Amino acid sequence: MNIQWYPGHMTKTRRMIAEQIKNVDAVCEILDARIPVSSRNPDVDELTAGKPRMVVLNRVDQADPEGTKRWAEHFRAKGYAVLESDAKSGVGTAKFAGAVRELLADKLRAYAEKGMTGRVVRVMILGIPNVGKSTFINKVAGRKTAKTEDRPGVTRSKQWVPIDRNLELLDTPGILWPKFDDQSVGMNLAYTGAVKDDILDVETLGCYLMAYLGEHYPDALKAAYKLSALPEREAEKNDIAYGYRLLEAAGKKRGFLISGGEVDTERMAKILLDEFRSAKLGRFTLEVP
Ligand code: G4P
């Protein structure tokens, strides 16, 4: 799978990040708590080397709470400050300013000792498209700020957003990377809606998602589709075959039949993706640390 996502725009944004990194005290990456690896731009480590780092696990309302706990521990163990957030409802966002000050405590103490108490702390905010970056910034700022555009050809490529007298954010465009080396990254981004469905046909995507849920969240799947039991996962069958049988079972329960009594698995796959994205099926985390 090779997703090209505005390569010229990505190059410009990367350059902007590299130029601006010297103007910020810390870097905050907003990740999707359901897919903390797949929603993490692999270029960020190299671009921001040496800066104190914060990770915001956003969309915790849609993720498995146990998974979020494990990811938070994972990033803390690596020395990152971690904030769990549901930016849509504003849960967790009020802790952002305090978390930044804690992350930069040594630096701020050193400034205070030199009498530089009024110095503004600047934080660069990074995140792939649709992760909830604008929603998060608006909640932290307490007002609606202009959205930086993820698309090329629009002039607003970065902006400084004042939060309080001592804290300013640098909002950047959401960028993906030109090529996913690992196919599961592309699929995770498609399940969550970060990239368009058309990278793969909907039915194939639905099969893979069903297979994952059937394996990791069988009880939730049974409850969501009122299935008394799931089809057996046979060792010799691949994910597609297993997922297809789950799509058939769920589609049959929903009454999605086409001529000849066959199940309309494509329709079921579309519904599955919609329901996954809106967390109607439950709260799931698709990656483990
Ligand atoms: P971006 O800047 O990273 O591209 O993302 P943006 O903030 O525009 O958010 C994309 C969508 O995700 C928005 O929904 C937003 O409300 C939703 N969202 C952001 N953070 C969270 C979160 O923590 N939990 C949940 N459940 N949703 C979140 P939308 O449907 O595009 O807009 P709207 O209907 O909310 O206005």
Same domain, 233 and 111: no
Same domain, 161 and 210: no
Identify the pLDDT of residue 155.
Answer: 47
Report the 3 state secondary structure along the chain: CCCCCCHHHHHHHHHHHHHHHHHCCEEEEEEECCCCCCCCCCCHHHHCCCCCEEEEEECCCCCCHHHHHHHHHHHHHCCCEEEEEECCCCECHHHHHHHHHHHCHHHHHHHHHCCCCCCCEEEEEEECCCCCHHHHHHHHHCCCCCCCCCCCCCCCCCEEEEEECCEEEEECCCCCCCCCCCHHHHHHHHHCCCCCHHHCCHHHHHHHHHHHHHHHCHHHHHHHHCCCCCCCCCCCCCHHHHHHHHHHHHHHHHCCECHHHCECHHHHHHHHHHHHHCCCCCCCCCCCC
Positive/negative CA dihedral, 16, 14, 81, 190: positive
Give distance in angstroms: CA of 163 to centre of ligand 1.
20
Which ligand 1 atom is the nearest neighbour of the CA of 129?
Answer: 4
Has residue 23 been placed in a domain? yes
User: Does the Cβ of 87 fall within 6 Å of ligand 1?
Assistant: yes
Same domain, 125 and 267: no
- Say which residues have a Cβ less than 8 Å from residue 72's Cβ, sequence separation at least 6: 57, 82, 84
User: Does the Cβ of 84 fall within 6 Å of ligand 1?
Assistant: no
Structural domains in the chain (count): 2
Identify the pLDDT of residue 286.
Answer: 97
Consult the annotation and say whether 133 binds a ligand.
Answer: yes
User: What are the two backbone dihedrals, phi and then psi, of residue 199, each rounded to the nearest 5 degrees?
Assistant: -70, -25
Has residue 238 been placed in a domain? yes
Has residue 214 been placed in a domain? yes
User: Does the Cβ of 86 fall within 6 Å of ligand 1?
Assistant: yes
Same domain, 98 and 24: yes
Residue 81: beta bridge partners? 54
Give distance in angstroms: CA of 61 to centre of ligand 1.
12
User: Does the Cβ of 88 fall within 6 Å of ligand 1?
Assistant: yes
Identify the pLDDT of residue 152.
Answer: 52
CATH number at residue 263: 1.10.1580.10
Has residue 55 been placed in a domain? yes
- For atom 28 of ligand 1, which residue has the closest CA? 88
- For atom 4 of ligand 1, which residue has the closest CA? 130
Consult the annotation and say whether 155 binds a ligand.
Answer: no
Identify the pLDDT of residue 252.
Answer: 96
Has residue 229 been placed in a domain? yes
Same domain, 132 and 205: no
CATH number at residue 52: 3.40.50.300
Q: Closest by alpha carbon to 286, among 140, 195, 186?
A: 186
Same domain, 45 and 158: yes
Which ligand 1 atom is the nearest neighbour of the CA of 130?
Answer: 4
Same domain, 167 and 272: no
Helix or strand run (H / E) with residue 126: strand 121-127
Same domain, 33 and 139: yes
User: Does the Cβ of 173 fall within 6 Å of ligand 1?
Assistant: no
Has residue 127 been placed in a domain? yes
Distance of alpha carbon 259 from alpha carbon 261, whole angstroms: 5
Same domain, 117 and 212: no
**Which ranges constitute the DSSP H helices of 154-286?**
183-191, 202-216, 218-225, 239-254, 265-277
- For atom 31 of ligand 1, which residue has the closest CA? 130
The range of the structural domain enclosing residue 98 comes to: 7-171
Distance of alpha carbon 141 from alpha carbon 170, whole angstroms: 12
Structure tokens, 98: 């305090």
Same domain, 36 and 155: yes
Identify the pLDDT of residue 97.
Answer: 96
- For atom 13 of ligand 1, which residue has the closest CA? 132
Same domain, 226 and 85: no
Has residue 179 been placed in a domain? no
- What ipTM goes with this model? 0.97
User: Does the Cβ of 48 fall within 6 Å of ligand 1?
Assistant: no
User: Does the Cβ of 133 fall within 6 Å of ligand 1?
Assistant: yes
Return averaged pLDDT per consecutive 10 residues of the chain, 289 residues in all: 62 90 97 97 89 98 98 97 98 97 94 88 94 96 77 63 94 81 88 78 94 95 94 80 95 94 96 94 95
